[in-house]
Amino acid sequence: MEQLAECRKKIDVLDLKLLALLNERTQIVEEIGRIKRNLSLPIYEPRREEDVFRNVLASNSGPLSAEAVKRVFERIIDEMRNIQKDKIL
């Protein structure tokens, strides 16, 4: 049980780091949304999303599968797109 508790403590620390990184990413996405609004550019950019997927998949050494990584980043990108929509409106 002690090992389980220790592993969970490590997960809690990592979760907070992930949250901080996601919030940092969100701040940049908000700026991108402002730039897109000023330039009258569309929010949805399929090529850019494919670039993101290529980048993370090329750097993935596991144990997450490529499919799992893509699903996680699809969700992140979807949330970021929603943030941009909210900032542009």
Q: Which domain holds residue 84?
A: 2-88
Predicted confidence band of residue 88 (pLDDT cuts 50, 70, 90): low
pLDDT digits (tens, 9 = 90+) for 10-41: 999 999 999 999 999 999 999 999 999 899 99
> What domain count does the chain have?
1
Q: Whole-prediction pTM value?
A: 0.88
CATH number (domain holding residue 47): 1.20.59.10
Instruction: Give the chain's mean pLDDT.
Output: 94
pLDDT digits (tens, 9 = 90+) for 65-76: 999 999 999 999
HEC string for the chain = CHHHHHHHHHHHHHHHHHHHHHHHHHHHHHHHHHHHHHHCCCCCCHHHHHHHHHHHHHHCCCCCCHHHHHHHHHHHHHHHHHHHHHHHC
